[in-house]
Amino acid sequence: MNNAPHQLDLSAWPRHDLLEGPTPIQPLPRLSAHLGGGVNLFVKRDDLNGLGGGGNKLRKLEFLIGEALAANADTIITVGARQSNHARLTAAAAARVGLQCELVLTRAVPRFDADYLENGNIVLDALFGARVHDLSGTADALDYANARADELRAQGRKVYVCPLGGSSAVGCLGYAACAAEILAQAHALGTGFARVVVPNGSGGMHAGLVAGFAALGVDPRLVHAYAVYSKADHAHGITLDKANATARLVGGVPGIAAEAVVIDESQLGEGYGMPTDAMREAVRLMASQEGLLLDPVYSGKAFAGVIAAVRSGRHAPGENVLFVMSGGVPGLFAYRSAF
């Protein structure tokens, strides 16, 4: 891993800076010792970005906002669930660059308590000035978004529609760039990682890392994902398609093989946004041992997978495992009753 090149040329793609620079990689010494087994856990702090409360979606939005501005858009519309982190950060990024923002949010998670419906990300969406369209859990949000875009275009507006999670091939470039960032940081630290662990929701973070590592000559099976949105078979197909689409944009990669996309569904539980006991333990352990906050939908479930892998001996003593902390902390306040 340390001998791989650390740069990708993504200059052909419009990009608007939303980050403050590379996010740090930090060790988790107390939690590593607590779990035992001699495995060295590290976190890539993608939760630390300052804009909009931080989170991994800003990496995708650098390219998505860049594309929208290059097209002279004045409005951005995106879709998600009621507590979507991507929607929150799209609203924040739109506020930063002066775009109008509309969010098409579905009640896809069967939660009807006041905390879930009115707290967390939904509070911040309003503060950032976004207009929220509240749809039922069975509605097709993207169809609604495209129809709304047509309505606004008929009024003379220039509208950019952003997909679920920002996980278009262009959005995934953000995590192809992150693959290069991880390699450069590992080189600077004089170390390497046996595994890079991420949650897999809309698949963009996973796909971008796979495409980025492949383009940099690193075996993309380095990345292991835990499904948090759909079953592994479904998530695998979507992620592989996005990884190949991203690889075509990056260039230099003939294709991503099916076995390069590794997804584990053991932490999914009853489905997207539904709490599990393992997630609760993971959130509590990270908080009590390291003072860091995982979110209950994405990073909590994925880190539960890391804990299970360490406890079951799937990592050899001395191995370094990097977990990408994707942010989403406002979601904790929407899940008060789960804790």
Contact between 33 and 289 under an 8 Å Cβ cutoff? The reply is: no
Cβ neighbours for 168, distance < 8 A, ≥ 6 positions apart: 64, 162, 204
Amino acid at 52: G
Closest CA relative to residue 65, chosen from 85, 92, 94: 94
Specify whether the CB–CB gap between 170 and 64 falls below 8 A.
Answer: yes
Alpha helices, H only, 190-231: 204-215
CA distance 36 to 82: 38
* 176 Cβ neighbours under 8 A, 6+ residues apart: 8, 10, 208, 209, 211, 212, 215, 246, 250
Other beta carbons less than 10 A from residue 122's beta carbon: 22
Of 11, 32, 84, 266, the catalytic one is 84
By C-alpha distance, which of 247, 115, 220, 103 is closest to 165? 103
Angle at 67 between CA 64 and CA 73, to 5 degrees: 105
| 298-301, long-range: CB < 8 A, 24+ apart | 298/85, 298/199, 298/201, 298/228, 298/326, 298/328, 299/47, 299/199, 299/323, 299/325, 299/326, 299/327, 299/328, 301/199, 301/226, 301/228, 301/267, 301/268, 301/269, 301/276
- 84 given a catalytic annotation: yes
Residues identified as active-site: 84
